[in-house]
Amino acid sequence: MPFPLLLRRFLTFGRRSEILGIAYLRSLGYRVVRSGYRTRDGEVDVIAWEDEVLAFVEVKSLQSSEPPEDSVGYRKQKRIIRAAEAYIARHRLHDAPCRFDILSVTVLPGSRPEFRLLRDAFRMYN
């Protein structure tokens, strides 16, 4: 569903992509519980349950044919992991299985967004 023109003016490209990504994840059966979770040490774009697994999803988007997921390097992964640890501690979810996904959203001018979900893209402890 396209964004109303009024909303396009106020949302950044990244935030619009996150909203599109959330809709895509829901279409796959994810139960989204939080978006834009931020702590002092990091942030997670989307936190959702897929069946019994808690998924921390980084949404990356580009307006070119470059793979957006390539920009999730080691430092970015560590920031996501720190935020995930804080979320797990705050909600007492230590026993819940979790994983880290990357959802890449490619938006080329004049085309519909393309989504690529990389489940279990990186691990909490390497």
Q: Per-residue pLDDT tens for 100-120?
A: 999 998 877 788 888 999 999
pLDDT of residue 61: 82
CB 113 within 8 A of CB 105: yes
Q: Do the Cβ atoms of 33 and 77 come closer than 8 Å? A: no
Q: Specify the DSSP element, H or E, that contains 46.
A: strand 43-50
Q: How far apart are CA 55 and CA 16, in angstroms?
A: 20
- State pLDDT tens for residues 40-65: 999 999 999 999 999 999 998 876 66
Rg (CA), the chain: 15
Sequence spans of domains, the chain: 30-122
Task: Tell which CATH classification among 3.40.1350.10, 3.20.20.70, 3.60.20.10, 2.60.40.1120 matches the domain 30-122.
Answer: 3.40.1350.10
